[in-house]
Each structure stands twice: as C-alpha cells, then as structure tokens.
Chain A
C-alpha cells in the first residue's frame, strides 16, 4: 500500500491500481453524504479532479494519483456514502485505474511515511 499527500491510498491488485481515501481523511471529512465518481472508460491524468466527496461539512475533490484509464468504480459508495466512514481502507474503495505511467509511485509514501506525515 502507498499513500499520497492528498490522503489517498493505492493498492495494486490484479494488475490495476485500487484507489480510496485513508481512515484519517475519512475522519477529518466527517460523515460523507455524497460521492460522485468518474465514468468507467475515462482516461485521466495525474492530478485531475475525478471524484467529488461531500461530507456534512464541505465538498472536497479527489485527484487522480496517476495517469491511466478508469476500469471500475465502486457504485456501492454512491448508493451508500456512509460506507466511506465505515470502512475507508477496505470495502469503500473509489475506483480502479489501469495505470499508464507508474513512475509517480516512487514519490508516494509507505505506511510509516504516511503515519509520520499526518503526525
């Protein structure tokens, strides 16, 4: 598992990258009430705003962590946004990317690095 400074986690699974938000991010956001996901088949570039999350407090964006193609999205969190608070690093993943350029992975943090980052 790798982590971005934008509080996303990335986990490689069957040749695609599964992306979600960290438990720390979910806690900071508060109760999530709305999620808008990209379309399957969308080609995205690193740092594109591809997900919108609205919590009881505010709207925030999730950026594409890598270049690639969206191959699957988790409709379950659209139907039931509270899953993002219940299981952010498991069941409530956001999207899966077929990565075209994995080089930014080297800059992302491991778990120890992320823990230090959030203090």
Chain B
C-alpha cells in the first residue's frame, strides 16, 4: 500500500496476522485472526487492545490555553479541573462540526487527542485560531487503548496507579515502558484506558499486555461495532460540517456555562446558530435505530415515516450487526417529529422497506467506572 503511513505497532500487527487496510492515510489492522465478532465479544467480556496511534496527540501551551481553546469549542475548558478530561467539538462558523476530540487538563498544559483523518486540519485550525498558544504535535508516541472489564486488572500489572483513576481522569506515570500518559476513557462503552507511550517502548508495552490471558488485539472492525453499540459518533459518518451539536444530540457536550445565559455564553464559532438551536430545537436529530428484522441497515439507508411514503424523513449514518445485542443496530438522522423513542419508521434496503424503531442510546449500558 503505497504512500500510507504506519504506526509504531505496524510490525506487531503483521506478526499477529492482522488484515491491514488503508484508514485515514494509515495502514491499520481491520481484524486479527480471531475475527470481528469474537474480537468484539472478547472486549466486552475481558479486555481488548487497540492501536489508535493514527490519532493526533497535541499539546497546547500558553498563558491561558483553556481560555484560548474556548474560542474554538462550545465546551467549558476553563472549569476543567487538573487531572480531568472532557469530550469536545471544534465547530465552524456555520455551527457544523469540524471534528470531535478529547481535551485533558494536565496542569501547565492541555493534552488533546483528535481524529486521524482531521488531524492536519485541526492542527492548522488551532495554530490559526490560537496564535498566542504553542501547538506541539506529538509524533514520537504511540497511542494504545485497552478496553473492557479486565482492562484495569491488566494495566495495573504495569502501572498499579491506574486502579485509583476514575472515568475521565488523566495521569502521568513512570513505568518500565517509560512515561505513560494515561486517561480512563475510550470508544467502546466499556471501562478502559487510552495510553500514550513512547514510540520506542510501544511494541514491548503492547506485547506485555497481549501476553496476559485476558488481553487480545482488536482491529478497527470491532472498534466500529463496539462504539456503535455504545451510541458513540464516528466523525465523518455521524457528525461532520453539515451537522450541528444539537442536531447530533450532543447537547451534553456543551456545558450550561457556554449556553445562553451562562457566564461564558457563546464566543465559539457558529454560536449564533448553535445557541438558537438550544432555545428552539433543530429540525432533525440523531437517534438510535433498531431494525426489527435481521438485515443490518447500513450508512446511507433512507428512512421513511410510512411503508408507502414518497419522501424520506431521514437517513442512517452508521449501521451494522451488534454482536453483543445479537441484532442489527443503527444510528441516523430523522426529522424532529419522528425522533421520539419508540417511533416506528421504515428503512429501505435493496428496494424493500423494512420496519425500524427509534431507540434510546446507548443500545447497551456503558460500564464506565465513575
């Protein structure tokens, strides 16, 4: 695969027998010999190790990096306590979403993790928007996620301090594999960690975890079905510049202090539209969708209010078989009158309309350690 980048774990993936695919400019493992279904179920039952080194790791420094970053995100960063992490969105002037990211307060700086496909644009956006800040792109560290009920037990064998962390904590720890930057977070709906590890020690660190009985390597295929069951958005599918935070049902990511009447109301790109949608609602909304039959309804499936309706009222943006639900699961956008939980709609698959029900997300309760 020409011109594709490789992560520090590339050789390990090949040794493990992964099937490699092009993803966001990188050659990444889509699955290992275990297969997507078993990888998914293993993560829910024990612990899965994911190479997410393709994602962007960025350090933001300055006199007031939190105050500065609030100019680009509709999120309360100034009130993010040291040692804590928060989900955030870069919005554009039209109120669309440029990317979603994680922001951690590490005392004298902020640590950001951004999507692989957006990272060059995000870095340019940070540099242009926050000229008073220093934007350091970390290129000598791998990022490894360890997710699942046995993740704590496994990682604690290397870094015992992780047992003390709560969901969305961030900590730095010295280990046999160098300095680890650990957050208790992830993209599976499971308890777990994301660990930034020095490139030179990344393979040994991953191999030490994989040597434990409870840990298996998990590819992008299962990562997608895990996050979908957890109701988490995939940037580029479920959110993008054509969707606003309110349409995307991400109101929870915009703290009250940034909304109308809040102390730091507005002051982020697209505030006029986004705050208006908080007051009046949006015309459409992202919802969970459970197809009633067995056929998955995948991204692009059009949704109709009735079996014989002419015009679609929405579209599926992510859909797959949910191995833990043992049924197909989807999410998508529908016009607001059809967004209520329990509403019956029809999805058109291969020219036939099949019933699908609007459902609450996550499809499966999350097991974060709060």
Contact = CB atoms under 8 A, between A and B. Distances in A.
Interface of A: 30-31, 33-34, 36, 52, 54, 56-59, 82, 85
A31 B296 contact: no
A54 B350 CA distance: 12
Contacts of A82: 37
A96 B300 CA distance: 33
Contact of A54 (B30, B35, B225, B321): B321
18 contacts: A30-B35, A30-B221, A31-B37, A31-B38, A33-B37, A33-B296, A34-B295, A34-B296, A34-B328, A36-B295, A52-B295, A56-B35, A56-B221, A56-B320, A56-B321, A57-B36, A58-B298, A85-B35
Contacts of B36: 30-31, 56-57
Interface of B: 30-31, 35-38, 221, 225, 294-296, 298, 320-321, 323, 328, 350
Given A56-B221, A56-B225, A56-B321, A30 B295 contact: no
Given A34-B294, A54-B321, 4 more contacts: A30-B31, A36-B295, A57-B36, A59-B296
Contacts of A33: 37, 294, 296, 321, 328
Nearest to A35: B294
- Nearest first, the 4 A-B pairs at minimum CB distance are A33-B321, A31-B37, A56-B36, A34-B295
Contacts of A57: 30, 36, 221
A34 B291 CA distance: 13
Nearest to B37: A31
Nearest to B327: A33
Contact of A56 (B37, B294, B295): B37
Nearest to B293: A34
Nearest to A54: B296
A56 B36 CA distance: 7
